[in-house]
Amino acid sequence: MTVGQRPTVQRRRLRTELRQRREAAGLTQDQVASKMDWSVSKLVRIEAGAVGISTNDLRALLDLYGVRDRSEVEDLLDLARRSRQRAWWAGYKGILSPSYLEFIGLEADASTIRYFHPTIVPALLQTEAYARAIISGGGTRMLEPAEVDAHVEVRMTRIREALDRPTPPELVVVLDEAAIRRHIGGKAVMRQQLQHLIALAARPHLRLGVLPFAAGVHPGLYGSFALFGFTEPDADVVLYLEHAPGAMILRDRPGEVAEYESAFERIVDSALNPEQTVALLTEVADSLA
């Protein structure tokens, strides 16, 4: 599926169009929910792009907003139909949490991704052996072999979809030094992972940094986070926070997102530059030979 045609992209476009038309009609979300006999949460989720909308509901909503132009209505209906198409990850709803599915959708749509992790190599930069080791023993619940296989399959697909597409996202990834020194999967697996990072560092769309132990206290001590940026001019940056029992995606909190953007810049400033990073990765990899 080419960039700009993914259903999640269409859903983001649709949510913007609907929010603009509601505001142009001078209606609040509470007023619309009351007139449509919906819960407010349903409208909030539609305008957040978290769920799609049926064509029947969309026709009624546009009528409420005073949108009568036939061409405009048909364009929006077509956008709604395309936004409801199945993405590749929809087939994994039975084994993946809703927050993880939403995360994959954000990752698939993003034009820029900024990622910090204090303990492990982030998913998009993992080898299959490293990913399998993490998935097999890194969670709070031990997975059955079939579940492990499914999660590894999802991760490898995410990597291909993100890094190998014609226009990959601009990636800025910073790892704490602990992430490259912890022997995940044993020395051989870890050495292969470090060599993989060295190869990835040569890609033009990826900037990789390591935050050395010598940096001391830094803004990422309390956990990993990711910041997703999008090409749409009115699209907000989305913050993703990860924690042991699950994950949390923050929207519509520009103040909190701005704090994490500032924190990420401080982390980048404290990290080794790309050349120093490759040198350290090479040193650690060689020590595992």
Q: CA-to-CA distance for 261 and 256, rounded, in angstroms? A: 9
> Does 120 score more than 90 pLDDT?
yes
DSSP 288: T
pTM for the whole structure: 0.78
The separation between CA 58 and the C-alpha centre of its own chain, rounded to angstroms, equals: 27
- Whether 122 and 173 have beta carbons less than 8 Å apart is answered as yes
Pull the structure tokens for residue 143: 């997975």
Q: What was the pLDDT predicted at 2?
A: 36
Confidence category of residue 246, pLDDT binned at 50, 70, 90: low
> Does 177 score more than 90 pLDDT?
yes
Q: CA-to-CA distance for 87 and 10, rounded, in angstroms? A: 11
Model pLDDT for residues 5-58, shown as the tens digit of each residue: 466 677 777 888 899 999 999 999 999 999 999 999 999 888 877 777 889 999
- 94-287 in CATH: which number? 3.30.870
More confident residue, 120 or 245: 120
User: What is the share, in percent, of the chain residues with pLDDT greater than 90?
Assistant: 63
Q: CA-to-CA distance for 233 and 252, rounded, in angstroms? A: 16
The ranges assigned to domains in the chain are 7-83, 94-287
Confidence category of residue 4, pLDDT binned at 50, 70, 90: very low
- 7-83 in CATH: which number? 1.10.260.40
- Across the strands, what pairs with 19? none
User: What is the share, in percent, of the chain residues with pLDDT greater than 70?
Assistant: 95
